Structure 1
Amino acid sequence: MARAQSTLTGPALRSQSVMLTFLGNHVYDRPVCVFSGSFIDVFARVGVSEEATRSTLSRMASRGLLRRQRHGRRMYFGLTPRTLEILRDGERRIWHTGVVNDTAEDRWTLIGFSLPESWQRQRHELRSRLIWAGFGPLQNGLWISPAEVDVESVVRDLDLGPDANVKVFLAEPREPTDMERLIRDAYDLDHLGGRYRAFLDRWDRPAPMPEAPDDLARSLVMLTEWLRIIRTDPRLPVRYLPRGWPAEHAQRVCRALHERFRGEALAIATHVLETVPDAAVGWAEQ
């Protein structure tokens, strides 16, 4: 997947990630398909070339993340059910769940599994999905998450079968368990905390990203960077985290900047976007 190669995008954001941010903010709740030229205009603002934008649209369509819809000689792109699911997840993580877990309950999900040595692909996919769902490796074959997780939905289409020997439990810690040490062992707090601090270094300033042409570009880059972080944050109970944990401060900065950028970003997107009704869902007749 092409990356957005520009100083605007900081840590080499994938063009697909920026695309999903744009769709989530300006297309998600609209029954429309967007002209390919509109995407080219928008992505030029964050330093993505026309060639890279067209490549991203093509790859996303081939992966079922966008749907092509032709009108005359022009090609338009609409959302698919899979994309809607991804955008709902992003919306939930940013605006509803948040990064701060200050619950007083200790309710953890444990999953143990033992996969045959020949199942390299399944092992890699399972671990990737567990990390996405907030799990960390506690010890060999045993992973833990600080929430009640529907593990069946995580592993449903992996076709693991009985040979995987998957076992799932809900658990509460008891003495003499050292939860702070357990969390340090299961999760890379230094790396996660470093990502939040890097976000603050880049955005917590009076005039963030002055080199950007407008607030639409700033909004796209900022929210894409934010989603990259929080999608790897398992939302560990804050009482077990190191003093001065930066997530809450970073979240306040993100939400304040979103409000600050929103007006101009929406005005530009409204002006730039050329759309047609999305015929796939029958909205054109409504």
Structure 2
Amino acid sequence: MLTFFGNHVLEEGDLCVYSGSIIDVLGRVGVGEQAVRSTLTRMVNRGLLRRRREGRRMHFGLTPQATRVLEDGRTRIWKQGAVNDDWDGGWTLLGFSLPDSWKRQRHDLRSRLTWSGFGALYSGLWIAPGKVDVADVVAELGLTDHVKIFHSRADESTDIGLMIRDTWDLESIAARYVTFDKRWTAHLNAGSGDDPIATRLRLVSEWLWTIRTDPRLPARHLPPDWPARPAQDTFRRVAEQTEAPAHRMARELLETVRQASNR
């Protein structure tokens, strides 16, 4: 659902999409109507979507919170890329201590840290390559008083390659890239005679799933055959191939209104 709104609404700002159009597009990738409706309701309840009624039709648009989430995703996908060739040698360290009863808060913090490129150096000490600004993430979760953030460099005695292998599951990360690359290279070889809006929705969703646990580790400390680069090249080739046809189809399929008020 977030991929759908990122593909077709984020750039339009105040656009709201008719629920029937959303059901139509997600149905093209095998998502049932009831699942779409329940997901829309959950996202409204979580403050990610807002409703706008036009007659008997309900439309959905982005909230500021969802816009921030999608803009962060857009940066990861289109600007940063999957390969970190320009690491400056710095690290961001984040330490936290939460009460044992705060299971949900701990889960939410770990999930957001993973997306931001962190790995667990120790149970309450997480680390990410480069200078990562996570203060807003911590504040949004209401955990500022329980978290300490530092920016530092490793001592010469630290084996960075070993630390990386101990902190992150490189085999699992690499396997995701290999699987993605094989699947979408096969798509390129098969030609582009399918549904472009559905193809692009699957493409971006699968790429997000692939990169979500990749902290963009410094390339100099990764195996020379690290599969992120060829996978990224394949992603961008399919993305370029589907961009214009998917947007043309979206203009034909999606019934929209402008977001003049919140309801």
Residue of structure 1 equivalent to 2:2: 20
Unaligned 5+ runs, structure 1: 1-18, 282-286
Distance 2:142 2:5 in 1: 32
Q: Taking structure 1 as the reference length, what is the TM-score of the superposition? A: 0.84
Residue of structure 2 equivalent to 1:195: 176
Q: Does 1:256 find its partner at 2:251?
A: no
Residue of structure 1 equivalent to 2:202: 221
Task: Report if the CA contact (8 A) 1:212-1:218 is conserved.
Answer: no
Residue of 253, 263, 269 corresponding to 2:250: 269
Residue of structure 2 equivalent to 1:134: 117
Q: Taking structure 2 as the reference length, what is the TM-score of the superposition? A: 0.91
Residue of 63, 68, 81 corresponding to 2:51: 68
SS at match of 2:182: helix
Task: Report if the CA contact (8 A) 1:203-1:209 is conserved.
Answer: no
**1:26: Cα distance to partner?**
1.3
Q: Does 1:57 find its partner at 2:40?
A: yes
Percent identical among aligned pairs is 52
Task: Report if the CA contact (8 A) 1:110-1:145 is conserved.
Answer: yes
* Superimposed CA distance per residue, residues 182-228 of structure 1 (whole angstroms, 9 cap, x where no aligned partner): 00011111111111111012111254688995111111001100011
Unaligned 5+ runs, structure 2: none
Q: State the one-letter code of the partner of 2:151.
A: L
Distance 2:254 2:23 in 1: 10
* Superimposed CA distance per residue, residues 1-26 of structure 1 (whole angstroms, 9 cap, x where no aligned partner): xxxxxxxxxxxxxxxxxx21121111
**1:139: Cα distance to partner?**
2.1
User: 1:212–1:78: structure 2 CA closer, same or farther, 3 Å change rule?
Assistant: farther
Distance 1:108 1:27 in 2: 35
Task: Report if the CA contact (8 A) 2:188-2:238 is conserved.
Answer: no
**1:152: Cα distance to partner?**
2.4
Task: Report if the CA contact (8 A) 1:202-1:208 is conserved.
Answer: no
Residue of 174, 179, 185 corresponding to 2:155: 174
Residue of structure 1 equivalent to 2:26: 43
Task: Report if the CA contact (8 A) 1:111-1:169 is conserved.
Answer: yes
Task: Report if the CA contact (8 A) 2:82-2:229 is conserved.
Answer: yes
User: 1:122–1:274: structure 2 CA closer, same or farther, 3 Å change rule?
Assistant: closer
**1:243: Cα distance to partner?**
2.0
User: 1:226–1:212: structure 2 CA closer, same or farther, 3 Å change rule?
Assistant: farther
SS at match of 2:154: coil
* Superimposed CA distance per residue, residues 32-73 of structure 1 (whole angstroms, 9 cap, x where no aligned partner): 211111112111211122222222222222222111111111
Q: State the one-letter code of the partner of 1:96.
A: K
Relative contact order, higher structure (CA 8 A, sep 6+): 2
Moved more, 121-130 or 174-183: 121-130
Task: Report if the CA contact (8 A) 2:120-2:126 is conserved.
Answer: yes
Pairs aligned (count):
261
User: 1:161–1:39: structure 2 CA closer, same or farther, 3 Å change rule?
Assistant: closer
Task: Report if the CA contact (8 A) 1:34-1:78 is conserved.
Answer: yes
* Superimposed CA distance per residue, residues 94-149 of structure 1 (whole angstroms, 9 cap, x where no aligned partner): 11111111125101011223334343333333222222221111123221110212
Residue of 81, 84, 103 corresponding to 2:67: 84
SS at match of 2:11: coil
Moved more, 50-59 or 37-46: 50-59
Task: Report if the CA contact (8 A) 2:114-2:212 is conserved.
Answer: no
Distance 2:77 2:134 in 1: 22
Q: State the one-letter code of the partner of 1:126.
A: L
Task: Report if the CA contact (8 A) 2:112-2:137 is conserved.
Answer: yes
* Superimposed CA distance per residue, residues 145-194 of structure 1 (whole angstroms, 9 cap, x where no aligned partner): 102122422321444475x4x43321112222111100001111111111
